[in-house]
A and B are shown apart, each in its own frame.
Chain A
Amino acid sequence: MIEVRFHGRAGQGAVTAARLLAEAAFLEGKCGQAFPFFGAERRGAPVVAFARIDNKPIRIRTQVYEPNHVVVLDPTLLEVINVAAGLRRGGTLVLNAKKTPEGISGIKVAVIDATGVAIETLGVPITNTAILGALAKATKLVSLNSIIKAVRNYFGDKLAEKNVAAVKAAYERTQLMKLS
């Protein structure tokens, strides 16, 4: 079973990102489970969401404490939260950032300016679909095509195509590195 933790701020779509990942896995014939953990509900507050992917039905209902991968939708969260907490050996940290962050070492990191991509393709800084493109590129958990299919299923026609553009652009531009 693969477990992924998403960190975002309310309004950026972290919960939807987790759901779309589960849906993409489902489209590939696997089982997917996605769920949020809400704090007090208000726009801008830190939000955590989780996704699990497995080849058999997923029964466990706990939060994820030792994720295989971590996805961060908002660069300012790095100062507030230890986003890499519990990240398993060999796992990847997928970051929305303009440049490689300092102070992180010994793990695989994928960097994408998801905010830039979102503004360019959607016109708003909602980074969830862009970051999924980066996740697909960095981890190969699900294919780019499956993410695109999941995005098309979830969003209405017009919104879907803009988000597909965000996924594709992010997939192209994601930089992979191992910080030592």
Chain B
Amino acid sequence: MKQILTGNEAAAIAAKLARVKVISAYPITPQTAIVEKLAEFVADGELEAEFMKVESEHSAMSACIGAAAAGARTFTATSSQGLMLMSEMLYIASGLRLPVVMANANRALSSPLNIWCDQQDSMAVRDSGWVQLYCEDNQEILDSILQAYRVAEELLLPVMVCFDGYILSHTAEPVDVPEQGEVDKFLPPYELPHPLDPERPVTMGPVGVPEYYQEIRCMLQEAVRVAEDKIAEIDRAFGRRFGRRYGLIERYRSDDAEVVLLTLGSLSGTARGLIDRYRKRGEKVGLVKLRVFRPFPFGELIDALGHAKAVAVLEKDVSLGSGGALFIDAAAAFIDVARRPLMLNFICGLGGRDVTQLDIREAIRVAGRAAETGVVRRAVRWLGLREKIVGLRPKL
């Protein structure tokens, strides 16, 4: 049934529909409403689950790891500094191959202190062996969390469902909430192959000596890399049951486009309307929305962008000292491809700065000029800066 829900409410309802058995979380803006709602579901008897209160995000993830190791379907949610505090345990969850699912309401990192949206937090942990999905709207948040459990449990990998703080977490809009019975059919109860069990003792997390550590890491890398096919397959199964599917990437009017925007998350929504206007004027501009960031869908991306003259990568994060994280991977995708587009990176929307259609137009203009001239004068640029900062040198 369709109802008006915030992104946070959609996330909480998804966890409830997934019949999670253990929830452990620590409050942090803008995620807090998710676990508040789940605590309410548990207290009201609407959800049969253990809600473990903890003193930090590090402990929240530790508790999720313990619960998942015992075979329980687990859920947590966090943002920003909370994700940073968890980061040590993120690597342990993936290393132990535990199917924990987490919602991350994307928020900027300190310092300076900032409670608003960007994607620096989840990008900072992109190497941790977690599958990362980025959502464009509240429906996609709900659907992605349901899909995330299937992905996590079939692959024994943790999954992080990322969505823009405030821009989605606090936005109310129509969301189709599926029937519990339908969700149960899509997401049956699962059994961890080797749970912690006194009757059948197993060792988890032993020392990986130099003779074996590298092989174990290689196995994890392979597991995350090939997850692509499974994610696509589960997305198709979801589509058959619920009528909505998202793909690893989505091509929006990009097949014959000369200039293509590449975006993550809620930015894609704002870009769509703009693309329509360019198309009305007969200008060949398109959009590719990347939904699955880890594993990085190299093949699909080469396929979707290879024909373009210029690609403008818009993202709300920066790998300081390099470029945007999405840009770095997207550029790397074409390293041994003969026909490749010019690539430009636009860092934008940091710390809650609104990314307007005017900003996106500027990116299209710059990329269009590169497409015309065949020259990229500066690969990494910033959109919407208040004043000229790039190129300034501090006086020492």
Q: Which residues does A use to contact B, with CB under 8 Å?
A: 15, 18-19, 22-23, 26, 31-38, 41, 57-63, 65
Contact = CB atoms under 8 A, between A and B. Distances in A.
Contacts of A59: 137, 269-270, 272-273
A35 B172 contact: yes
Contact of A23 (B164, B167, B172, B266): B172
B269 A31 contact: no
A23 B4 contact: yes
Contacts of B355: 62
Interface in B327-377: 354-357
A35 B272 contact: no
B4 A26 contact: yes
A65 B269 CA distance: 17
Given A60-B270, A61-B266, A32 B4 contact: yes
Contacts of B250: none
B259 to A, nearest CB: 20
Contacts of A15: 170
Interface in B133-163: 137
Given A23-B4, A35-B167, A63 B354 contact: yes
Nearest to B354: A63
A62 B4 contact: no
B137 A35 contact: no
Given A60-B269, A60-B270, A35 B354 contact: no
B173 interface: yes
B66 to A, nearest CB: 33
A61 B172 CA distance: 12
A12 to B, nearest CB: 17
Contacts of B168: 61
B345 to A, nearest CB: 21
B267 interface: yes
B171 A33 contact: yes
B269 A61 contact: yes
Contacts of A34: 4, 171-173
Interface in B248-278: 266-267, 269-270, 272-273
Contacts of B357: 60, 62
A125 B164 CA distance: 33
A32 B270 contact: no
Given A58-B173, A59-B270, A60-B269, A22 B166 contact: no
A60 B166 CA distance: 14
B351 to A, nearest CB: 13
A38 B173 CA distance: 18
Contacts of A26: 2, 4, 174
Given A22-B4, A41-B29, A41-B115, 5 more contacts: A19-B4, A32-B174, A38-B115, A57-B174, A61-B266
B113 to A, nearest CB: 10
Top-5 shortest CB links A-B:
A35-B171, A59-B269, A34-B172, A19-B172, A61-B266
A61 B4 contact: no
Contacts of A33: 171-173
B158 to A, nearest CB: 28
A129 B266 CA distance: 30
Interface string B1-38: 01010000000000000000000000001000000000
Contacts of A60: 269-270, 273, 357
Nearest to A50: B171
Nearest to A59: B269
Interface string B78-120: 0000000000000000000000000000000000000100000
A137 B168 CA distance: 30
Given A19-B4, A22-B4, A33-B172, A61 B167 contact: yes
A23 B4 CA distance: 6
A119 B284 CA distance: 57
Contacts of A23: 4, 172
Contacts of B167: 35, 61
A36 B270 contact: no
B270 A61 contact: yes
A37 B29 CA distance: 14
B173, B269, B355: most-surrounded residue (chain A CB, <10 A) = B173
A92 B262 CA distance: 38
Contacts of B356: 62-63, 65
Nearest to A57: B174
B276 to A, nearest CB: 10
A38 to B, nearest CB: 7
B23 to A, nearest CB: 25
Contact of B174 (A31, A35, A41, A65): A31
Nearest to A58: B173
Contacts of B170: 15, 35-36, 38
A36, A38, A61: most-surrounded residue (chain B CB, <10 A) = A61
B274 to A, nearest CB: 9
6 contacts: A18-B172, A19-B4, A32-B4, A34-B173, A59-B272, A59-B273
Contacts of B354: 62-63
A25 to B, nearest CB: 9
Nearest to B265: A61
B270 A22 contact: no
A117 B269 CA distance: 39
A32 B269 CA distance: 15
